[in-house]
Amino acid sequence: MNKRKWTGAVLSAMMVISMLVFPGFSSAQGNINLDGQRKRAKQIKTKQMLQHFASKREKQRRDAVHSKSGASLLDVNEVDFSDKIDSYHWHVYHLTVSEAGTIQVNSNGTPSKVMYDIFPWNPEDEKVYHHGDTLPAGEYDFVVQYNDIEFDPTETDFNYDFTVNGVQMTVDNNVPTVETTSPATHNVHLAKGTTSVTFAGSVSGANNAGISMGSQGKGVIEVSTSAPYSKDIPVQAGYNFATLTASEWSSNMAIEFFKIKVSGMKRIAGADRYEVSANISRLLQDTYPFPTDTVVIARGDLYTDALSGGALASFYGAPILLTGTNALPEKIKQEIEVMMYSHAIILGGTGSVSTNVENQLKAMGLTTERYDGANRFAVSAKIAGKISKVTGTDTAFIASGLNFPDALSASSPSGQMMMPILLVSKDYVPAEIDAFIKSHPNVKQFIIVGGPGTVSDAVATKIASYSHVGKDNVYRVGGANRFEVGVNLVDFFGLTYQQYGFMDPHTLVFANGLDFPDALSGGPLAAKLYAPIMLSYPTRLDGKVNEFLNANENEVIYILGGTGSVSTTVEQQLNAKIQ
């Protein structure tokens, strides 16, 4: 039997069935448009990455004034940025604008596959600037990158040539040159048991260069900027995100990205749900090369307030750590201290996470903010309001607020594209959610997760009735049960992979589908790995999940929780299905 490569030629049988079951609303993938959503998500992630580098670049600029490595600053009102780039490189040109003006950017025939964004250094300025915008005086990064790395990656170089004028600026119009000979490609797939990968190449025109593997410094290795280098870097089963960064004193940078996937299985276990969430936090930060200072705190014995928190956590690149209502568990305190989180977002009111927990966090040196409300729907609406404000989202999920599985299955695509999850009752839209939809006309596409048994057709009809929505903008991803809903979400976001989402269906995150805590903590990890969350019975695989695995090319599987959550029997079954 041929395994599914997920290159997306036809709709799966599951989606055809969905079209037949829910004829009143659009279920065909071909109608939904997530282009704007994915572009906004990419801009947000780019800005967060630049902010990660900001302090280091500023220090380098101060320290290296007397060893300028051949770079020269121009004080001009027009500059050309020209070079070549593929999917896996960014070029970052730093601008200092002396007075406000209308910026003009001419692409000079640059292919549409190559895009630019202008990001302010000021973290309080959330705008992304483009041609024709008024650029205030200040410092900016002009970032050139490939438009579709997540959907249409290529090793082919594209020449670009941008002419920028309209403002007086101080700028260096050269970036460091990075030439990597090993690995031979940027999407690297290694066999089970591989423990290291060799990086080799050369860097020129830079003051500093290094390879980052994991945000806490594990595997961060400096490389020469004056001679060829070769370094063996450790990798582990699953995803390993590596970044080669070369920077010069002017703050210009060349960044090269690698996704290194080692086939295999990894279980993230712990003595209890709290330790599992701490261990997921550690893996989240060790896997990804850019750290966060933010952590999301949620009640560990009740899911209601935290169901909508996945997109918010992903916006900050933050883990979700579980807590007791009245006190932080010891493992959670240790994780906060080790990872040096400095800001905590609390989900729910003081009945869910008490003021005592908040005071413990403050005593540990963290600043705090709280998303609370009269009920779970009010909390959901408040979180959605924040996501809408910072991302300008045009799409939201609708899921049951009375049961957890469907919202948790949606937490990965919600986090990947920073689309809020709005919680509803089975047969009506709560007043708080109704008010959110009415006051946010920019949110005009809705994806209902779950069948009519969890979110009724009456709710779908209500959503479609809003003047800025209409039935053609309401989609449903259903299924016979929670397990099949998860499979169908992979079909919806993964089958036509290049068009609809960041999801990599060959990397899977499994959690107990009959209890919520492990999947709740695992949402941000799944989003960071571009992986769906798949639900399982504790001691056996659901039939539809098993069918999916048999038809799929499974490369990496993560299991959330100990053997009491997902048994060794299920683990053995999953391991046997890895390619």
On the question of pLDDT at 359 being above 50, the answer is yes
At what angle are helices 35-63 and 376-391 packed, to 10 degrees? 70
Q: Whole-angstrom Cα distance, residue 222 to residue 224? A: 7
What are the pLDDT digits (tens) for 79-120?
Answer: 999 999 998 999 999 999 999 999 999 999 999 989 999 999
182-262: same fold as 40-63+72-173? no
What are the pLDDT digits (tens) for 388-424?
Answer: 998 999 999 999 999 999 999 999 999 988 999 999 9
Look at residues 125, 151, 186, 143 and name the one whose alpha carbon lies nearest to residue 49. 143
Domain ranges of the chain: 13-31+264-575, 40-63+72-173, 182-262
- Average model confidence (pLDDT) for the chain? 88
Q: How confident is the model at residue 126 (pLDDT cuts 50, 70, 90)?
A: confident
Fold annotation for 40-63+72-173: Jelly Rolls (2.60.120)
**Residue where the block lists tokens 């700028």:** 171
Global confidence as pTM: 0.86
Q: Whole-angstrom Cα distance, residue 579 to residue 575? A: 9
Fold annotation for 182-262: Immunoglobulin-like (2.60.40)
What are the pLDDT digits (tens) for 509-527?
Answer: 999 999 999 999 999 999 9
Q: Whole-angstrom Cα distance, residue 552 to residue 219? A: 32
On the question of pLDDT at 357 being above 70, the answer is yes
Q: Whole-angstrom Cα distance, residue 132 to residue 144? A: 18
The strand pair at 264-268 and 177-182 is best described as unpaired
- Mean pLDDT for 158-166 is 97
